[in-house]
Amino acid sequence: MTVTKQTVASKLAAYLHHEISLAQLVDWAENALMEDEFVESEMEALRHVVSRLGVADVRAFGLTWEDCEQLLQRLGYRARVEVFA
């Protein structure tokens, strides 16, 4: 599979929307690093973000809201929170 910025942003969004767990996000990132191809023109940002997601289950690294915002920004996206009753 070819990984693009959109692919990674979609996975991160799925995690933030509680559609996938942190463990599933980490598994996806680890597998992507080992098995998938990255779009050449986006390689630097993709490797950085996917590598970071691959260690998000390690206590020393974790994954905060701020981390997610920064990772999305690195991919050219912005996060927005919506609160409703």
Identify whether 84 is part of a domain: no
Tell whether pTM > 0.75. Answer: yes
Q: What is the DSSP string of 11-22?
A: HHHHHHTTSS-H
Residue 80: inside a domain, yes or no?
no
Q: What is the mean pLDDT of residues 65-81?
A: 94
In a domain, 67, yes or no: yes
Tokens of 40: 């050449």
To the nearest 10 degrees (0 to 180), the angle between helices 22-35 and 5-16 is 160
Structural domain span for residue 14: 2-74
Tokens at 49, concatenated: 């973000």
- Does residue 42 fall inside a structural domain? yes
Across the strands, what pairs with 37?
A: 2
Residue 35 lies in a domain: yes
Q: Using one digit for the tens of pLDDT, what is the confidence trace for 45-70?
A: 999 999 999 999 998 888 999 999 99
Query: What's the pLDDT tens digit per position in 10-40?
Result: 999 999 999 999 999 999 999 999 999 999 9
In a domain, 49, yes or no: yes
